[in-house]
């Protein structure tokens, strides 16, 4: 057995225990757990609880003083429709949630709300924040930058973070629309998963120090980088390069946090950007949802090139995974379980308990 299943609430409670023991307000610690474990529920294991003991923005960063456990998250500049927030080196999972909630509240008043954030930290899966707008009958958008990990088209050196973009929109009978993607070919977390499970990475994901393709994970970590979305210049990696730079404009330059290669020069931390659009500021909600359903149904009814591989909607895999894992539990690799148990022991909290198996 290489995986064991855990209830989402058990993992959220465990995260809350760890983070509050490390100094966070219990309410913030629980919120961070909810955001983190939501990624596991959606099948985005690259951004889930595996990061808690290992990622430089979570438990290790709290211990080292790199993340402020009780930040004074403040509004630096504000208009009725916009705001700039300083995260005070707080955990991005909490700062991001607060900023997206502010964007939604502004959209309720003005039709559109946009919030930029500086001096924050890794905020998990971008789609979580975009999805916050959907129950409010709004379209949501979320972006974040990060330190450099991908190599622009024709370059040798990594210059841009994986810089994801997420957009979510409500629908009627069909699922909500959800687009959540890195502007690199894959998120860095995909390499982390392959590394801990001892699996090779496919060709096209990564480059060595000379900008040449490689499948050597350790070489990528040591001196290489990821490819831009599109993989090679011949297959349009310049599009991922442009999208990644665009994210830096919104999250890094507009917020003052700095672009990927210059984050340290502007006081540290990363930048985020959030927007919410109130649907009824543009179109009656029922009309919008009916058209969303029509569009998505056209995709679902499209004749597949391979009958064994039906056309699926953006986000469909994630929503189906969520439905299954909400009932059956979240599968964690034994290597991840070991790091969680070690973390529990070192902090002095109870280990997470696996889901009981029905017999």
Token output for 18: 């760890």
Closest CA to 7 of 41, 33, 31: 41
Token output for 176: 């909500």
Q: In DSSP terms, which residues pair with 151 in a beta bridge? A: 227
Token output for 261: 């290669």
Residue with tokens 């465990």: 14
DSSP string, 58-115: SHHHHHHTSS-SS---EEEEE-SSEEEEE-TT--HHHHHHHHHHHHHHHHHHHSEEEE
**pTM here?**
0.96
H or E stretch covering 18: helix 8-21
Residue with tokens 């190599």: 151
Q: Delineate the domains of the chain, giving CATH numbers in brackets.
A: 3-280 (3.30.1370.60)
Going by their DSSP bridges, the two strands 112-120 and 270-278 should be labelled as: antiparallel
| CA 31/CA 132 separation, integer angstroms | 13
Per-residue pLDDT of the chain in tens (359 residues, 90 and over written 9)? 799 999 999 999 999 999 999 999 999 999 999 999 999 999 999 999 999 998 888 999 999 999 999 999 999 999 999 999 999 999 999 999 999 999 999 999 999 999 999 999 999 999 999 999 999 999 999 999 999 999 999 999 999 999 999 999 999 999 999 999 999 999 988 998 898 888 889 999 999 999 999 999 999 999 999 999 999 999 999 999 999 999 999 999 999 999 999 997 776 799 999 999 999 999 999 999 999 999 999 999 999 999 999 999 999 999 999 999 999 999 999 999 999 999 999 999 999 999 976 43
């Amino acid at each position: 057995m290489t995986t064991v299943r855990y209830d989402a609430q058990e993992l959220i409670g465990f995260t809350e225990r760890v983070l509050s023991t490390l100094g966070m307000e219990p309410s913030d610690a629980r919120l961070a757990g909810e955001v983190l474990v939501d990624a596991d529920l959606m099948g985005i294991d690259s951004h889930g609880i595996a990061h808690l003991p290992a990622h430089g923005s979570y438990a290790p960063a709290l211990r080292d003083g790199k993340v402020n456990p009780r930040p004074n998250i403040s509004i630096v500049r504000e208009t009725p429709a916009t705001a700039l927030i300083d995260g005070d080196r707080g955990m991005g999972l909490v700062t991001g949630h607060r900023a997206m909630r502010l964007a939604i509240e502004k959209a309720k008043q003005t039709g559109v709300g946009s919030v930029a954030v500086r001096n924050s930290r890794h905020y998990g899966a971008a789609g979580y924040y975009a999805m916050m707008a959907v129950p409010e009958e709004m379209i949501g958008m979320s972006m974040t930058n990060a330190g450099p990990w991908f190599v622009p088209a024709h370059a040798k050196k990594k210059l841009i973070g994986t810089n994801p973009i997420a957009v979510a929109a409500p629908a009627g009978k069909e699922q909500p629309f959800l687009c959540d993607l890195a502007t690199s070919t894959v998120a860095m977390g995909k390499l982390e998963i392959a590394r801990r499970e001892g699996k090779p990475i496919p060709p096209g994901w990564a480059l060595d120090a000379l900008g040449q393709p490689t499948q050597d994970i350790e070489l990528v970590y040591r001196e290489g980088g990821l490819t831009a979305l599109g993989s090679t210049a011949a297959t349009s990696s310049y599009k991922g390069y442009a999208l990644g730079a665009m994210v830096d404009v919104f999250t890094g330059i507009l917020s003052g946090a700095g672009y990927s290669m210059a984050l340290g020069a502007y006081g540290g931390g990363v930048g985020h950007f959030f927007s919410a659009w109130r649907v009824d500021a543009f179109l009656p909600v029922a009309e919008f949802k009916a058209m969303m359903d029509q569009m998505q149904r056209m995709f679902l009814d499209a004749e597949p090139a391979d009958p064994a591989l039906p056309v699926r909607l953006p986000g469909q895999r994630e929503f189906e995974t969520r439905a299954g894992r909400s009932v059956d539990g979240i599968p964690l690799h034994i290597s991840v379980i070991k790091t969680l148990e070690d973390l529990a022991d070192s902090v002095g909290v109870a280990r997470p308990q696996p889901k009981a198996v029905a017999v």
